[in-house]
Amino acid sequence: METIRYDKLIRDKIPEIIKKKGVESRTRIAEKEEYYQKLLEKLEEEVQEFLSSEEKDKIEETADILEVLYAICDLRGISREEIEKIRAKKAEERGEFRNRIILEETKEKNS
């Protein structure tokens, strides 16, 4: 029997799914700081998967990114409502990204 080592954060139901396939697995529960570090690694992994995915798969990868961000917020005690409030405030004050504006350069005016 081949052993594959992962040492990565997985979704909560993955051990059940693995077991139903007749595969043995070993898991553990991360302490808070390790959990945070693994969430950051997972976020990086999911962003890379988004960037390299086909256009048809981008919505799935976006959902994965959101799931990791929600977990980070939960860990840090930040509610989704608080995040949305901050996002909306920044959108009101600084705008969104809907107009596709590209800043090419700036030039200081002579005093």
Query: With 80 as the cut, is the pLDDT of residue 100 above it?
Result: yes
**What's the pLDDT at 2?**
87
DSSP string, 23-83: ------PPPHHHHHHHHHHHHHHHHHHHHHS-GGGHHHHHHHHHHHHHHHHHHHT--HHHH
Average pLDDT of every residue of the chain: 95
pLDDT computed for residue 111 by the predictor: 63
At 16 the pLDDT is 96
Which pLDDT value is given to residue 1? 74
pLDDT 10s digits, 35-60? 999 999 999 999 999 999 999 999 99
Q: Which residues touch 2 (CB under 8 Å, ≥6 apart)?
A: none
Q: What is the pTM of this model?
A: 0.85
Residue 110 has a pLDDT of: 82
